[in-house]
Structure 1
C-alpha cells in the first residue's frame, strides 16, 4: 500500500498541472460552438443538394483562393469553416460570403485552444505527450480508488476544501476524486485510445487495431495533379445520389499527393460529427473513384467511431456536455490542488536534533 500511495502522490505531483490544463481546456472546448463570435453563426444549416453544390462551386472555382478543406455548417454552428495552407482559415456563411478570416490559429481562441488540448502546441510530439498523460491519469485514478477504500467510512463530499491546509485539501481530494472518478475514467480512456489506437485492443479485442486500420483505409493513391477546373457541384450531386439521406460534412483536397478528393458524409445514425460515410473523386478529372458506407463497416470499427463523440460530448445534447464539462473541471481542480500540496504544502521533516530537543522538553514537563 505504501508503494501505491507513493506512486499516486508522485504521479499527481509530476503531471497534475498537465492534467489540469487538459481538463480545463477540454471543459471550455465542449461549448466552443456557443461562444464563437462571428456573423451568422446561429443560422440553420442548408443541406439541400443544390444549396451545398452552389456554394462548393463558388468557393472552389478560383484555384488562387481555393481552400484546402471545407467543413460545412451543422445544426450547432451555422458557418462553413475553410482551411488554407500555413494555418490560415476563414468562416463563410451559407451563401459563400466570407465573414471572418485569419492568417494563423493564434487569431482564433477556438483554434489555439484545440491545438493546446490535442497537441500542446507541439504537433505529433505533443499529441504523444497528451496520450501518455492520459495513461498516467488513468493510473492516478485507479490508485486513488484503491487508497480511498481504506478510508471509505470517513467519506465527506466537498466541492472545495474546508480550509487551505494540507490535511483539509487531501481530505477533499480523496472524497471529491471518488465522486468524479467515473467521468474521469471516461475522459481519460477515450482520450488515450484516440491517441494510441493500438490500445483499442484492450477495449475491443486483440484484432481491433488491425480491423480498424483496414476498414478505414483510403483507396490506393492515384497519379495526377489537381485540375484547375473541375465540376465541383457535380461531385456533390453524385455523392448525394449515392447516399441521398446523408448530411454532407467536409470536402478535402488531395493530401500528400494521393490524387484523391475526399468528401465525408454523415448518416442520421452516426455519432461522429463528420461521419465515416466517404466518397472519393479523382483529382485530375473529378470522376467517382470509390465510396464507403459507414453502415457496412465492421462492428469493431463502428464501436471505435463512438469514442471521439463520447470524449468531445458530440452526442447527448446539453446534459452530456454538462457532464463532460464537470469531468474537465474536476480534472483541473484535482490536478492543480495535487501539485500545490505536493510541491508547496509538503509536511516539514524535523531534524533529529529538533526531535530529541522536543522529547527532552516533554520529559522535563512530565517530571515537573
Structure 2
C-alpha cells in the first residue's frame, strides 16, 4: 500500500501534468489577451499625452453647456457617425463619438467641437486592440475562446500556487527580477513570478471570465430593477416629441439624476425611438456609471434604472467587474497593478512555453 508521501507525490505529479497541458492549450490566447490588455490599460493617459495634450475640462463646465453642445453635435454630424456619444469628463476632457460600425471614433474639442486631427493612428491602434482583446476578431467564437481561456487561466493560477507551495521556502527575489535571464532557470522564473502575481492575476481573469459568462451564457443576476413612468414626456419636455432637441432629452434625464454626471448618450433614431443617457454617480468606481434614464420619443414613456448606489450588494459587486478588470476609473496604484499583471501573464506564458519546448527538443 503506497505511503502518504507517495500519494502526495503522485497527486502533485498529476496536477503538474494538468497544469502543463492546460497552459499549452491556452497559452497563445492568454498571450494575445494580455498583450492587448496592457496597451488598453493606459488608453486614456496615452490619448491625452499623444493626441490632446492641451485638453482640459473648464472649471465652470456644466450640464447646461453640455446640452447646448449636444445640439450642435447632433446637427453637424450624421447619426451613423455618432451612434454612441460620450460626454466630456475630467479624465476625458473631450467628446467621444463612436460610429455604428464601432470602428469609427472621433474626438471633438470642447471649445470648438471640431475633430482632433493629430496622431489619429493611435485611435486605430486602440480600436484594433479592443477587438483583439474582447473577441479575437472572430466575434462570438472569439469570445467563447477567451471565456474558456480565462477559466483555464484561473485553474493555472490555483494549481500553480499549490505546486509552488511545496517549495515556498526557496523563494528568492532574484527569480522574480533576474539580473541576467538564463534559459536554465526559466521554470524558476515561472514559478516564483506566478506566485507573487497570483492575486492580481486571479482578479483580472475572474472578472474577465464572469463578464464573458454574463454575455455569452447567462447573467448572474436578474435584470436590474427599473421604474416606468408612462406618458411622462409632456412634463419634462415642453414640446412635441418629434421636435424635441437632444438637449431637452439630456436636461430632462438629468432632473431625475441631479447628482450624476452624464457619460454615454444615445439619441433617438429611425428604428430606435429611445433616448438613453447613462450617469456616473459621485465616488462610483465604474467610469461610465451604471445608472440610466431612457426616454421614448414616440410615446413619452420614461424608464429609470435603480441608482447604482441603492441596489443590492450582489448587484454592486457585479457592477464593479468592469473597473476591476480594466482598471478604468481606479486609482493609479491599482492601474499599475493591472498593467503589471498583464506583463506577468505574458512572462508566465513565455517562460512556461519556452521551457517546455526546450526540454522536449533535448530529449
1:32 to 43, 47, 60: 43
Please name the residue that 1:279 is paired with. Answer: 293
* Pairing 1:184–2:195 present: no
Please name the residue that 1:110 is paired with. Answer: 126
After TM superposition, give the deviation of residue 78 of structure 1 in Å: 1.4
What does 1:335-346 correspond to in 2, within 5 Å? 335-346=349-360
Q: Measured at CA, do residues 120 and 106 of structure 1 come closer, stay the same or move farther in structure 2, by a change above 3 Å?
A: farther
Paired residues of 2:176 and 2:192 also in contact (CA < 8 A):
no
* Pairing 1:127–2:138 present: no
Paired residues of 1:40 and 1:93 also in contact (CA < 8 A):
no
Paired residues of 2:30 and 2:349 also in contact (CA < 8 A):
yes
CA-based RMSD of the aligned residues comes to: 3.1
Moved more, 30-39 or 254-263: 254-263
Q: Measured at CA, do residues 186 and 348 of structure 1 come closer, stay the same or move farther in structure 2, by a change above 3 Å?
A: same
Q: Distance in 1 between matches of 2:67 and 2:15?
A: 59
Secondary structure of the structure 2 residue equivalent to 1:43: coil
Moved more, 332-341 or 321-330: 332-341
Q: Measured at CA, do residues 106 and 130 of structure 1 come closer, stay the same or move farther in structure 2, by a change above 3 Å?
A: farther
After TM superposition, give the deviation of residue 240 of structure 1 in Å: 1.8
* Pairing 1:348–2:349 present: no
Secondary structure of the structure 2 residue equivalent to 1:275: coil
Q: Distance in 2 between matches of 1:216 and 1:194?
A: 19
Q: Distance in 1 between matches of 2:270 and 2:171?
A: 56
Please name the residue that 1:44 is paired with. Answer: 57
Q: Measured at CA, do residues 273 and 288 of structure 1 come closer, stay the same or move farther in structure 2, by a change above 3 Å?
A: farther
* Pairing 1:15–2:4 present: no
After TM superposition, give the deviation of residue 193 of structure 1 in Å: 0.7
Q: Measured at CA, do residues 97 and 148 of structure 1 come closer, stay the same or move farther in structure 2, by a change above 3 Å?
A: same
1:319 to 291, 311, 333: 333
Q: Measured at CA, do residues 34 and 13 of structure 1 come closer, stay the same or move farther in structure 2, by a change above 3 Å?
A: same
Q: Provide structure 1 residue ranges, at least 5 long, that are not aligned to the other structure.
A: 202-207, 350-368
After TM superposition, give the deviation of residue 26 of structure 1 in Å: 1.5
Secondary structure of the structure 1 residue equivalent to 2:115: strand
Q: Deviations over 1:188-246 (max 9, x none)?
A: 11111111129999xxxxxx8233xx2168979x9xxxx87532111121122211111
After TM superposition, give the deviation of residue 125 of structure 1 in Å: 2.0
1:164 to 171, 182, 195: 182
Q: Distance in 2 between matches of 1:307 and 1:255?
A: 30
State TM-score, norm by structure 2.
Answer: 0.82
Please name the residue that 2:4 is paired with. Answer: none
Q: Distance in 2 between matches of 1:169 and 1:96?
A: 55
* Pairing 1:91–2:91 present: no
Q: Distance in 2 between matches of 1:105 and 1:123?
A: 23
Please name the residue that 1:360 is paired with. Answer: none
What does 1:289-328 correspond to in 2, within 5 Å? 289-292=302-305, 293-328=307-342
Q: Distance in 2 between matches of 1:105 and 1:82?
A: 16
* Bigger radius of gyration: 1
Secondary structure of the structure 2 residue equivalent to 1:278: strand
Secondary structure of the structure 2 residue equivalent to 1:290: strand
Q: Measured at CA, do residues 139 and 105 of structure 1 come closer, stay the same or move farther in structure 2, by a change above 3 Å?
A: farther
Please name the residue that 1:80 is paired with. Answer: 95
After TM superposition, give the deviation of residue 133 of structure 1 in Å: 0.9
Please name the residue that 1:215 is paired with. Answer: 224
Q: Deviations over 1:279-308 (max 9, x none)?
A: 1011437x4521122233232111110111
Q: Provide structure 2 residue ranges, at least 5 long, that are not aligned to the other structure.
A: 1-11, 232-240
State TM-score, norm by structure 1.
Answer: 0.81
